[in-house]
Amino acid sequence: MNNKLNNISTLFKSFLTVKNSYKGGKGIVPKNQNQKVYKLSSNENPIGTSPMAIEAIKNNLKDLHLYPDTTDIRLRKALEVYYNYQLKAEQFVCAASGSELLDLIVRGFVREGEEVIVSTPCFVPYKMFSRWAGATIIDVPLFIEDYGLDVEGIVNAISNKTRIIFLTSPNNPTGSYIPKDVFEDFMFKIPSNIVVVFDEVYWHFAEANDYVRALPYISQYPNIIAINSFSKTYGLAALRVGYAYTNKEVANYLHQICKPFLITKLSLQGAIAALKDVFFIKRTMNIIKNERIFLQSQFEKMCIDYYPSQANFFLINPPIPADDFVKYLAEEGIAVRPVENFGAVGKVRISIGNREANEALIKAIKKINILATNS
Ligand SMILES: *Cc1c(COP(=O)(O)O)cnc(C)c1O
- The predicted pLDDT at position 258 comes to 95
Of 276, 302, 324, the residue at which a domain comes to its end is 276
Distance 41 CA to ligand 1 centre (A): 13
Does the residue 8 lie in any domain?
no
Same domain, 223 and 294: no
Confidence band, pLDDT 50/70/90 cuts, at residue 306: very high
Cis peptide before 222 (omega within 30 of 0): no
Atom number in ligand 1 closest to CA 232: 1
Does the residue 17 lie in any domain?
no
Cis peptide before 125 (omega within 30 of 0): no
Of 276, 308, 340, the residue at which a domain comes to its end is 276
- Of 119, 123, 228, 342, the residue with max ligand 1 atoms within 8 A of its CB, to mutate for a pocket test, comes to 123
Confidence band, pLDDT 50/70/90 cuts, at residue 286: very high
Same domain, 85 and 212: yes
Q: What is the pLDDT of residues 113-156, one digit of tens each?
A: 999 999 999 999 999 999 999 999 999 999 999 999 999 999 99
Asked if residues 113 and 157 have their Cβ atoms less than 8 Å apart, the reply is: no
User: Would you say the CB of residue 99 lies under 6 angstroms from ligand 1?
Assistant: yes
User: Would you say the CB of residue 231 lies under 6 angstroms from ligand 1?
Assistant: yes
Does the residue 124 lie in any domain?
yes
In the chain, what percentage of residues exceed pLDDT 70?
97
Does the residue 7 lie in any domain?
no
In angstroms, the CA 243 to CA 89 distance is: 11
C-alpha distances out from residue 192 to 169, 217, 221, 238, 250, Å: 20, 13, 7, 36, 13
Same domain, 311 and 349: yes
Q: Helix, strand, or coil here: 268?
A: helix
User: Would you say the CB of residue 229 lies under 6 angstroms from ligand 1?
Assistant: yes
In angstroms, the CA 346 to CA 317 distance is: 7
In angstroms, the CA 265 to CA 43 distance is: 25
| Range name among 14-18, 105-109, 371-375 with the lowest pLDDT average | 371-375
CATH assignment at residue 269: 3.40.640.10
CATH assignment at residue 356: 3.90.1150.10
- The predicted pLDDT at position 114 comes to 98
- The predicted pLDDT at position 40 comes to 97
Q: Where are the beta strands (DSSP E) in 250-372?
A: 305-306, 313-317, 334-335, 337-338, 348-351
- The predicted pLDDT at position 3 comes to 67
The arithmetic mean of pLDDT across residues 330-335, rounded, is 96
Of 249, 276, 303, the residue at which a domain comes to its end is 276
Q: What is the pLDDT of residues 68-84, one digit of tens each?
A: 999 999 999 999 999 99
Q: Is the predicted pLDDT of residue 98 greater than 70, yes or no?
A: yes
Domain hosting residue 31, numbered range: 23-48+279-374
Distance 301 CA to ligand 1 centre (A): 31
In angstroms, the CA 215 to CA 86 distance is: 9
The arithmetic mean of pLDDT across residues 4-22, rounded, is 78
| Range name among 156-170, 171-185, 241-255, 357-371 with the lowest pLDDT average | 357-371
The arithmetic mean of pLDDT across residues 239-246, rounded, is 98
If one counts the domains in the chain, the total is 2
Distance 200 CA to ligand 1 centre (A): 9
- The predicted pLDDT at position 97 comes to 98
Same domain, 171 and 84: yes
